[in-house]
Every structure is written in structure tokens, then in C-alpha cells.
Amino acid sequence: MQIGVGLWAMRATARRPASHPRLYAELIDDGRLADRLGFHSLWIAEHHFWYDGWCPAPLVAAAAVLGVTTRLRVGTGISLLPMHDQEALLEQAVGLHRLSDGRLELGVGLGYRDVEFDGFGLARRDRGRRMEAGLEALAQRRDQGKLTPRVWVGGMAPAAIERAVRHGHGILLPQTLTTGQIRAALDQVEQLAAAAGQARPPAALLLHAWVTDGSEDEQERARAAVAWTMREYMGSWFMLKGRPGFESPDALERQVGRALDAALIGTAEEVTERVAELAEAGIDLLVLHLTSDGERVDYRGNMELIAEHVVPALGEVPA
């Protein structure tokens, strides 16, 4: 199993305000640290048209990190493929992958907010067709022997898994799944690949993670940081029961609870044991979500603890 870190969005939230030049400067410093610590990859998110200034151009941010690192891979987690000019985005991704000596990981997803599609003058109902076209173009470049980034299709819906397998791309699973749901998704990947006569594509998973000293106080601080991050994210961006998350507080808290149940929070030994279980289940790349958009947390110290105690215990070998 390979271990990456995430999820950098460079958000300036009401609870955690910050200047965007400072946030992007911190991204550069964090990339250097992740490179020095030996992590496989660092992942950057994308969204548009919200007060917090969420990173709108992850490939540009990725280029900045790739330019100051030598081994670290940088991924988009995720790039909203249907919202972009398909050819322009693919050329940018392929060019960046080539210039970085093959160190770009391209995570892509459908997108789900009407306001984002409206802002780009696109119809949300066309997102599946546009996604298909982009994935097909990437597969064609790969099959022609061109240097292309590894592609990860985000989502857990059967349609997302089928789309990833059909095009020979990896699947990137979200951070609210139980172990049973993860195994079910991987079983579907395995079955679809076998039916198509293909090898099973790689599977990645995003999960919140926090290595603690084992004390109840530190565990509660970690849980609070995860809860604030997920509440800010899902409340702002998710439609729950047909309404924005913040307008559906009960449904929002259930979603936050799922993320907390799935999170890797505990001592180094406990986190390592959970990660080993995910590797045994078939996860090839685990992206540990360490940043927080609501609480100021020592995510760099967390990175160092994971690099010192968890990664060596798993025998991870960078790609």
C-alpha cells in the first residue's frame, strides 16, 4: 500500500480565516515536508463559487508543488472534469505530468453543485456525457503509448465504478464508508474487471487520520477537528434531503458521524492496525486527510508521526 496526504483546498473559512497568499505559501512548505518525509503523494481539491476561495485550479497549485519537490507525486482530489474545456484540461494535465517526470496523479469527478455548473454556463444533466468524453480521451492517449498521468475516478456509486473499470482507470473512494462498504465496492470492481477480461484497476481511499498519544483529551481534540472540517464541507457543499447541508442539521450530523466512525484516530499502533486491514481488503493507495478547515491543528506534526511510526510498519515502497 502507498500512503499519501491530503486534502489541501486552501479555504479561508469563517471559523478559520486566512489570507490566500499565506495559504498557498503554506501549501508549498507542506509539499516540501511531505517530500522530505517520504510520502507517496499530496492531494489538492477543487471547487468554485463559494465565499471561502476553495482552490479553483488544482493543476496550477499542483505545478507549484511539483516544481519544489523531487520525488513526491501530486494528485487532484478531485478535478471536476465535466466543468472544464476537456481538451485544454487534458493537455494541461499531460504536459504537467511530462514536465514533472511522471509525478502527477489525476483524480477526476462529476461534480454535484448546480451553482458550479451554472457558473460555467453548463447544464448539470450533461455531466455524465462530458465525463465519458474526457475519460475516453485520456484512455486513448494512454493506449497510444503517450505519457499520461494515472487517472482516479472519484465516487462510490455503481455508475462511477463501472465507468472507471470500463476505461481502465483507478477508483477513488470517499471518506465516509464503512469497511463493509469498502469491501463491497472493491468486489464490484473485481467483478466488472473480470467480466471485461481485464486486471483489476487500482483502488484508492480518502480517510481522515490522526495519531494520538492514547489519551482521551487528545482523541477528543482530533475528533473535534474532523467534525468541524466535515461539518463545514458538507454543510456548505452537499445537498441533503434536497436542501443545502446547513439547512438539514439532522442529516448533516449523521453524515459527520459517518466520517468520524470511518476516521483513523488512535495511537500509532492502532492506526497502523486499521491501515493494514484496509491494505488487506484491497486498497492500493490510502490518502490520509490531515488538514482541517475549522480548527487550527498541528497537521505537520501529525504528518511526522505517521511518517515515523505508521508508514515504516506497513513496509510501504513509493511508486
Mind listing the pLDDT tens digit for each residue in 135-185? 999 999 999 988 999 999 999 999 999 999 999 999 999 998 988 999 999
Amino acid identity at 193: A
Nearest to 58 by CA among 99, 15, 109: 109
pLDDT of 146 = 87
**Angstrom distance (rounded) from CA 187 to CA 242:** 30
SS (H, E, C) 166-211: HHCCEEEECCCCCHHHHHHHHHHHHHHHHHCCCCCCCEEEEEEEEE
- Domains annotated on the chain, with CATH: 2-208+265-291+302-314 (3.20.20.30)
Which helix (H) or strand (E) segment holds residue 104: the answer is strand 104-109
Residue 221 burial by CB count (10 A; 0-12/13-18/19+): exposed, middle or buried? middle
Q: In the prediction, which pLDDT does 181 show?
A: 92
Which residue from 76, 209, 236 is spatially nearest to 149, judged by alpha carbons? 76
Is residue 29's pLDDT more than 60?
yes
- Average confidence (pLDDT) over 46-50: 95
- Cross-strand pairs, 75: 43, 105
Strand 243-244 relative to strand 239-240: parallel, antiparallel, unpaired?
Answer: antiparallel
Mean pLDDT of 72-99: 95
Residue with cell 465525463: 131
User: Does 40 score more than 50 pLDDT?
Assistant: yes
